[in-house]
Copies of this chain bind each other. A is one copy, B any other.
C-alpha cells in the first residue's frame, strides 16, 4: 500500500467549489460600516479588484481557476495525501487516518492557495501595490510570495508582538521582496490613535487589519487583501478538499470524519466544503469538525450576530459567530487561531447544524503534536496541532464504541518557523486557559448596538 497518494498535475481541480450554491440557507449580506445597510459590490471596490468582489457574492457552484494561477499552483500542488500509518500504530487504532499536507507550499501552509489568485486578479486590474496584515506571519509570507510572482509591491502590517518575537517570519517576507511594518505603526491614523493611547501597544490582528484597510481605502493605486474569513478566500482553498477527495478515491476510501483547525475558517473550509457538498447534494453523512482554541472559542461560546472584522470598525459588518471585535484573546502560541470571529460561511453552516465545533486546550494540542512528530516525522504548526488532538479524541471515541472510522484531517502547515512554541511547551511555560463568562460578555457588550441577525 502506498503511504502517500499523489495526483498528477493534470488531475488538479480545474474549478474552485462555491458552497453557497448548495447551502440551504444562503449567507446574509455584509452591511456597510457607515450606513449599516447591505453593502453592494461598489462598496467593496475601493478595497478589492472587481473579479474578487464578484466571487465574493457569486452563487455559481463552480468558478474556473485561471491558467496562470494553475501554473503557479504547480510549484507545490497537488499536495500529498498521506496515510498516517506510523501514527495509527502508535495510537493502536483500527481507524484509518489520512492527512492532507499543505506544509509543502512556499510559505509552509495553505495560505498561498488564495494569495496567488488574489495577487493575480489584482495584477489583471493593473494594481501596483497591495496592503495586508499578518498575525503569526503565515499570511504575510504567502502574499509576499504571490506578489513577487506578479511583480506587485506588497506592504505587510505585522502585529508588533509577532514582529518582535518571530523575526524569521519577517525575514521570509523580506526575502520574497515585501515591506514589513510593525503594527500599530505611525503610517496610519488607526495606528497613531492606538499608539497615542498606548505607546507600547503590542498590537492585534484587528488593529493591523484597520491599518492595511486604511492605507488601501486612501489610495486608488493600492488594494487590500485578506487571508481568511471572506467568501472568496474560502472559495480558493477548496482545491485542498477536491484534491483530497480524488486521492481518497484512488485509495478506495471516503471519510467518515473530516477535521481541521479554525481561525477565520479558510483552512477548515478548504478541506471540508467539498465533503459537505456530498452531504448537501448526495445524501452522505460526513461529520465535519472545526477545532478552535479554548482561549478564543467563537464557535462554541460566541454569539451569531453582525460584527466588524477589525478593531477600528473600518470593514463591512459580517454576520458571524463572534466574541466581539474588541475581544483580546489570551496570548497562546497558535497565533493563526486568535481571531474574534468566524467566516460568514462557516458561521451559517454551524448555525444550520451542518458542521460541528469543539474547543481544545493548548497543552492537549502540543502533546498531540509531539506524538505526531515522533511518528510521522512532521512537526506541525501550533495551529495544526489542534486538528491532530481532535483526531486522537475521535480515535479514542471509536475505540470505546468498538468501531473503525476513516478520518481525514488537514495538516495545514509545518512548525519550522514556530519552534519557540514547542520550547515553551517543553519548558512548562504554557498553561491552559479557562474562558470566563466575564471575558465573553465584556467584549460582546461593546457590540450591543449592532444589528443582530
A residues contacting B by CB (< 8 A) are 2-4, 6, 8-10, 71, 74-76, 82, 86, 104-106, 108, 112, 145, 148-149, 167-168, 171-172, 174-177, 370, 373-374, 376-379, 414, 416-417, 419-420, 422-423, 426
Please state if B175 and A373 are interface contacts (CB–CB under 8 Å). Answer: yes
**Contacting residues, chain B, for A108 (C-beta < 8 A):** 416
Please state if A171 and B426 are interface contacts (CB–CB under 8 Å). Answer: yes
**Contacting residues, chain B, for A377 (C-beta < 8 A):** 75-76, 105-106, 112, 145, 149
Please state if B75 and A376 are interface contacts (CB–CB under 8 Å). Answer: yes
A-B contact pairs, 20 of them (CB 8 A): A2-B9, A2-B74, A4-B9, A75-B82, A106-B378, A106-B379, A148-B374, A168-B420, A171-B420, A171-B423, A172-B379, A172-B416, A175-B373, A175-B374, A175-B379, A175-B419, A175-B426, A176-B373, A176-B374, A416-B417
The residue on B at minimum CB distance from A378 is B106
**Contacting residues, chain B, for A416 (C-beta < 8 A):** 108, 168, 172, 414, 416-417
Query: How far, in whole Å, are A420 and B167 apart by their CA atoms in the complex?
Result: 8
- Least CB distance from A96 to B in Å reads 16
Query: How far, in whole Å, are A71 and B4 apart by their CA atoms in the complex?
Result: 11
Query: How far, in whole Å, are A167 and B420 apart by their CA atoms in the complex?
Result: 8
Query: How far, in whole Å, are A370 and B177 apart by their CA atoms in the complex?
Result: 9
**8 more A-B residue pairs beyond the given contacts A2-B9, A176-B374, with a C-beta to C-beta distance below 8 A:** A3-B75, A4-B9, A6-B6, A75-B86, A168-B168, A171-B420, A172-B422, A176-B373
**Contacting residues, chain B, for A171 (C-beta < 8 A):** 419-420, 422-423, 426
How many monomers of this protein are in the complex?
A: 2
The residue on B at minimum CB distance from A169 is B419
**Contacting residues, chain B, for A423 (C-beta < 8 A):** 167, 171, 174
Query: How far, in whole Å, are A376 and B106 apart by their CA atoms in the complex?
Result: 8
**Contacting residues, chain B, for A76 (C-beta < 8 A):** 377
The residue on B at minimum CB distance from A423 is B171
- Least CB distance from A371 to B in Å reads 10
Please state if A374 and B75 are interface contacts (CB–CB under 8 Å). Answer: no
Query: How far, in whole Å, are A2 and B6 apart by their CA atoms in the complex?
Result: 13
**Contacting residues, chain B, for A2 (C-beta < 8 A):** 8-10, 74
- Least CB distance from A8 to B in Å reads 7
Please state if B419 and A167 are interface contacts (CB–CB under 8 Å). Answer: yes
Query: How far, in whole Å, are A176 and B370 apart by their CA atoms in the complex?
Result: 7
The residue on B at minimum CB distance from A108 is B416
Please state if B172 and A426 are interface contacts (CB–CB under 8 Å). Answer: no
- Least CB distance from A335 to B in Å reads 16
**Contacting residues, chain B, for A75 (C-beta < 8 A):** 3, 82, 86, 376-377
- Least CB distance from A400 to B in Å reads 28
Would A174 and B4 be within 8 Å (CB), given that A106-B377, A108-B416, A374-B148 are in contact? Answer: no
Query: How far, in whole Å, are A157 and B110 apart by their CA atoms in the complex?
Result: 35
Please state if B9 and A175 are interface contacts (CB–CB under 8 Å). Answer: no
- Least CB distance from A66 to B in Å reads 16
The residue on B at minimum CB distance from A9 is B2
Please state if B106 and A174 are interface contacts (CB–CB under 8 Å). Answer: no
The residue on B at minimum CB distance from A426 is B174
Query: How far, in whole Å, are A416 and B137 apart by their CA atoms in the complex?
Result: 13
Query: How far, in whole Å, are A286 and B306 apart by their CA atoms in the complex?
Result: 65
**Contacting residues, chain B, for A148 (C-beta < 8 A):** 374
**Contacting residues, chain B, for A74 (C-beta < 8 A):** 2-4
Q: Name the residue in A82, A177, A416 with the highest tally of chain B Cβ atoms < 10 Å from its Cβ.
A: A416
